Amino acid sequence: MASSSPVAVWEWEDDGNLWISYDPFVSTGLERAKQKRAAKIRLKDLTAELSRYVVDFTTMKQIREDTGRERNVRRVVFPATSPAARAVIWEWEDRGLWSAYDNVVGQLLEDHYSRNAFSVVPLHRHTPLPYEVDLSAWRQKNVVTGFSRTVRRRPLSCTYPQVSAETVTSRKQVASASSYKGTKAKVSKSSGLSGAGSRDSSSESAKYPWLAHCTARVITDPKERKEECLICYEHLEDASAYSDAGSPRDSSTVVSMNMCKHTFHKLCLRRLYEHGTKSGFLQCPTCKTIHGVKIGNQPPGQMQVNLLHNPLPGYSNCGTIQISYNIKSGVQGPEHPEPGKRYTANGFPRIAYLPNNADGQKVLKLLKIAWERKLIFTIGSSSTTGERNTVVWNDIHHKTELSGNSNGHGYPDPNYISNVLQELAAHGIIDS
What one-character-per-residue DSSP string does 357-409 give? SHHHHHHHHHHHHHHHTT-SEEEE--TTT--SSEEEE-S-----SSS--TTSS
Q: What is the model's pLDDT at position 345?
A: 96
Q: Is pLDDT at 188 greater than 80 in this prediction?
A: no
Q: Say which residues have a Cβ less than 8 Å from residue 13's Cβ, sequence separation at least 6.
A: 19, 20, 71, 72, 73, 74
- Give the whole-angstrom CA distance, residue 337 versus residue 177: 34
Which part of the chain is CATH 3.30.390.130?
Answer: 301-426
Q: Is pLDDT at 329 greater than 90 in this prediction?
A: yes
Summary mean pLDDT of the chain: 81
What one-character-per-residue DSSP string does 37-101 give? T-SEEEGGGT-GGGTTEEEETTTTEEEETTT--EEEEEEEEE-TTSTTTTTEEEEEEETTEEEE-
**Per-residue model confidence as pLDDT tens digits over 47-97:** 888 888 999 999 999 999 888 889 999 999 988 888 988 889 999 887 677
- Give the whole-angstrom CA distance, residue 151 versus residue 334: 20
Which part of the chain is CATH 3.30.40.10?
Answer: 204-292
Q: What is the model's pLDDT at position 170?
A: 63
**Per-residue model confidence as pLDDT tens digits over 132-174:** 999 888 899 888 777 888 999 988 878 899 987 666 766 666 6
Which part of the chain is CATH 3.30.720.50?
Answer: 7-78, 88-190
Task: Judge whether 73 and 57 are in contact, CB under 8 Å.
Answer: no
Q: What is the model's pLDDT at position 189?
A: 35
Task: Judge whether 16 and 182 are in contact, CB under 8 Å.
Answer: yes
Give the residue among 36, 187, 25, 185 at the shortest CA–CA distance from 97: 187
Stated as kind and residue range, the H or E segment containing 20 is strand 19-21
- Give the whole-angstrom CA distance, residue 201 versus residue 174: 33
- Give the whole-angstrom CA distance, residue 419 versus residue 118: 31
If you average pLDDT over each of 79-93, 101-115, 345-359, which comes out highest? Answer: 345-359
Task: Give SS3 for 17.
Answer: coil
- Using pLDDT thresholds of 50, 70 and 90, give the confidence band for residue 276: low
If you average pLDDT over each of 109-113, 277-281, 283-287, 344-348, which comes out highest? Answer: 344-348
- CA 112, chain centre distance (Å): 22
Radius of gyration for the chain, computed over Cα atoms and rounded to the nearest angstrom: 24
Q: Is pLDDT at 198 greater than 70 in this prediction?
A: no
CATH number of the domain at 7-78, out of 1.10.10.10, 3.30.360.10, 3.30.720.50, 3.40.50.300?
3.30.720.50
CATH class of 301-426: alpha beta
Comparing 251 with 284, the larger pLDDT belongs to: 284
- The 8-class DSSP code of residue 162 comes to B
- Using pLDDT thresholds of 50, 70 and 90, give the confidence band for residue 268: confident
- Give the whole-angstrom CA distance, residue 104 versus residue 176: 10
- Using pLDDT thresholds of 50, 70 and 90, give the confidence band for residue 36: very high
Yes or no: is domain 88-190 CATH 3.30.930.10?
no
Compute the average pLDDT of residues 382-396. 87
Q: Structurally, what CATH architecture does the domain formed by 204-292 represent?
A: 2-Layer Sandwich (3.30)
